[in-house]
Amino acid sequence: MRRLTEGARRLGLVITAEQLQQFHCYQRVLLDWNRRTNLTAITQPRDIEEFHFLDALTVALAIPGAVKGGGSLIDVGTGAGFPGLPLKVCFPAMNVTLVEATAKKVRFLEHVVDALGLSGVTVWAGRAEALAHSPDLRERFDVVVARALAPLRALAELTLPFCKVGGVGVFPKKGDVRQELAEADQAVRELGGSRPEVRAVPEEVLGGQRALVLVGKATPTPLRYPRRPGIPEKRPL
Ligand code: SAH
């Protein structure tokens, strides 16, 4: 996994032999399950390494050190575990919660967490719109992340309710994000978010046009959000 270790180094991360073994195991299990169930469109080992593992690790650029060392992170719409699980492998002291609506993906997640021997990972089956109203999960997390879930305008409603005031949402995005940010302006404010900040991912990691959109949680999210399942995307704020 030279691309992964080299890319991680460029992100300022050192991957230990044990972590490398966990990434190998994760890749093996993902390839194996993906033959039977459709978990991800990315199926080539080298693509898993780059577009799942390394891409997930770029999020580390925006996670505060104290959170890496024992804070809490929730990944909403994690699919086969991205970006939450590679971050957990890299920062084993961090408490990671994964939210996923599709049952077969949840089964995979439970299996792979076990296969990697990870502790401090909690998997929730269900929709963010419902789970974000549970007292166990609402405004409980230092960092909320989500990749490829929705445009920021809807994403804010699906994710910011999980985030503590003073915490941050980190959303990896590709391409020009200006339009997406402009469209999300009002929704982010309504949900208690601060003005989004864009942090570019250094080009030498995965090529150009990759950025992290950071949204600080400034004030509590009004209790009426998120609205019913499907509404945040159908009728974005
Ligand atoms: N984050 C992963 C998967 C992206 S696909 C990655 O980047 O590879 C989006 C995933 O979110 C799917 O697995 C889908 O089942 C899940 N999802 C979509 N809407 C959701 C919602 N409202 N609540 C929870 N999960 C959701």
Nearest CA to 91 out of 56, 109, 110, 67 is that of 67
- CB-CB contact of 137 with 113 (8 Å): no
- The span from the CA of 190 to the CA of 206, in Å, is 34
- Residue at 129: amino acid letter: E
What pLDDT is recorded for position 204? 94
Query: Chain-wide mean pLDDT for the chain?
Result: 97
Nearest-atom index, ligand 1, CA of 158: 22
The answer to whether residue 19 scores a pLDDT higher than 90 is: yes
- Domains of the chain, residue spans: 2-234
pLDDT tens-place string over residues 121-180: 999 999 999 999 999 999 999 999 999 999 999 999 999 999 999 999 999 999 999 999
Task: List the beta strands (DSSP E) in 93-188.
Answer: 95-100, 121-125, 141-145, 163-174
The arithmetic mean of pLDDT across residues 198-224, rounded, is: 96
| Spacing, Cα 101 to ligand 1 middle (Å) | 7
199 vs 41, which has greater pLDDT?
199
Question: Is-above-0.95 flag for pTM?
Answer: yes
Residue 42's pLDDT band, with cuts at 50, 70 and 90, is confident
Q: Domain 2-234, what fold?
A: Rossmann fold (3.40.50)
Residue 55's pLDDT band, with cuts at 50, 70 and 90, is very high
Question: Partners of 143 in the beta sheet?
Answer: 73, 168
Residue 22's pLDDT band, with cuts at 50, 70 and 90, is very high
CB of 19 shorter than 6 A to ligand 1 = no
For residue 44, the tally of other CB atoms under 10 A from its CB is 10
Sequence-distant (6+) residues with CB within 8 A of 51 are: 42
CA dihedral 169, 172, 174, 178 (to 10 degrees): 20
What's the order of all strands across the beta sheet hosting 141-145? 121-125, 95-100, 72-76, 141-145, 163-174, 210-216, 197-200
- CB-CB contact of 200 with 211 (8 Å): yes
Ligand 1 test: best mutation among 78, 104, 123, 131, most atoms within 8 Å of CB? 78
How do 210-216 and 163-174 pair as beta strands?
A: antiparallel
How do 197-200 and 210-216 pair as beta strands?
A: antiparallel
| Spacing, Cα 90 to ligand 1 middle (Å) | 22
